[in-house]
Every structure is written in C-alpha cells, then in structure tokens.
Amino acid sequence: MKKISVIDYGMSNLHSVFKSFQKVTDKKYALSVANSSKDLEGASIIILPGQGAVNSCMDRLKSKFPDLEKHIANKPFLGICLGFQILFNKSFEDGGVNCFSIIDGTVNDFRNDIDSKYKVPHMGWNMVNQQQDHPIWDNISNNSFFYFVHSYYAKANDSSRELSTTDYGINFTSSVIKDNIFACQFHPEKSSANGLQLLSNFISYSESIE
C-alpha cells in the first residue's frame, strides 16, 4: 500500500489533518506520522501541517528532518499554514527567519501593512480567488470560502507560482504551486466540503505526476 507521511515536528496538532486524509483517501493509502527523516523514506506523499511560531518550526524541522529538502524535491508535497509559509525565502516573524527559498517571496506581518480596522489574526472564512486553472481546483468554484488562521501573510514575487490570492486589507498569496509542491495558507482540513474536495484533488494530482 502506498504511504502518506504527515510530518510531526512536535508543535502542531495533527489530528484534523490526519483524519481528513483518512476520510478522503478511503483506506487506499497507509497514513503515518513521521517523526524523523527515516520515516519519510518510502512515502509517496508528504504533508507538512504547521502551527506555532516560525523560528521554532524551522529549528525543529532542520534538526529532526535534516534532508527534508531532498525529500520534497521529488515527491508530491502539501504544506498547510506554517507549512506553506516556510517555503518562502524569509519570514519576518520572530525578528526575521530564513526559510527554504523554494518559492520566491517573503512572509510579512499583517499589522504593518493593513488598516487597523482589520483584526489580526486573520481568523475565519475568507474567499480564495483562483489565479490559474489547475486540477487542484476541480469541482471548487472560484471565490469559494476557506478557513484561515494566521497573523503573517505571504506574497510570492513570481505570479506564475500563485495558484490563488485572498484579500484581507491587502492582496496576499493564499496558495502556491511548483511542480510537485502545492501549499496553502488556509486550512483545507477545517474548510468543510470544499476543503475535503481540495485534499482529494491534491491526491489525484499527486497520482497524475508520479
């Protein structure tokens, strides 16, 4: 049976991500939690959910998964929330933290860039504006609502990487695509039917690029 590995770097709550994949894969994949690089071997798909602060996330990823970049260079990969932000060059959270530079762009503080009438964290259901046709959006209407919880926002420099944008006082990158890598700021595992559809689309997309 093919394996999906969900990366656990010790700070994020994997419960919903794990259960939502269990639901959409309908026992066709073996789901497992990866606590070290060794656990990623043999995985067909790698998922990186994320919560918490970026500096401890990067530190823990580097110490527990020193060859993470090698793994995600050639396997279908899904990053969620902080797992999306760490793909950019740099996050300005925690005084500035260098990230993986897989997507050209930076992660910035909403509070510096939006009107104070917008509450931070950006928490709740907001619209995802699709920027490209892509199988990730199969059966999901443009401008569908997805669930967000974050205080920092990403902006990709190269718009060809932007799969969607969202407005919250500023227009930011809400999902990106780069070959085998798909990542989103919003939480598909908390976004009801559209979220489950997106996860299912990601699995199909992964199978199509194998």
Residues at the site binding other proteins, with contacts judged by CB under 8 A = 13, 15-16, 19-20, 22-23, 51-52, 116, 118-127, 145, 147-149, 167-169, 189-192, 195-196
CB of 150 to other proteins, least distance (A): 9
**Buried b / exposed e along 185-206 (16+ C-beta atoms within 10 A):** bbbbbbbeebbbbbbbbbbebb
Which among 70, 69, 169, 46 has a CA at the least distance from the CA of 116?
A: 169
Active site residue 184: no
The reply to whether omega before 121 is within 30° of 0 (cis) is yes
CB of 19 to other proteins, least distance (A): 5
Helix (H) or strand (E) holding 153: strand 152-156
Q: Closest CB to other proteins among 155 and 178?
A: 155
CB of 171 to other proteins, least distance (A): 10
H-type alpha helices, the chain: 15-25, 54-64, 68-74, 82-85, 110-113, 192-208
Active site residue 99: no
Q: Closest CB to other proteins among 19 and 28?
A: 19
Q: Closest CB to other proteins among 32 and 52?
A: 52
CB of 18 to other proteins, least distance (A): 9
Rounded CA-CA distance 133/50 in Å is 26
Distances (CA, A) of 202 to 64, 184, 188: 26, 11, 11
Q: How many residues appear in the chain? A: 210
Indicate which residue of 57, 81, 99, 184 is catalytic.
81
Q: Closest CB to other proteins among 35 and 51?
A: 51
Distances (CA, A) of 48 to 13, 18, 129, 139: 11, 11, 23, 24
CB of 11 to other proteins, least distance (A): 9
Rounded CA-CA distance 88/9 in Å is 19
Q: Closest CB to other proteins among 151 and 204?
A: 151
Could you list the active site residues? 81, 187, 189
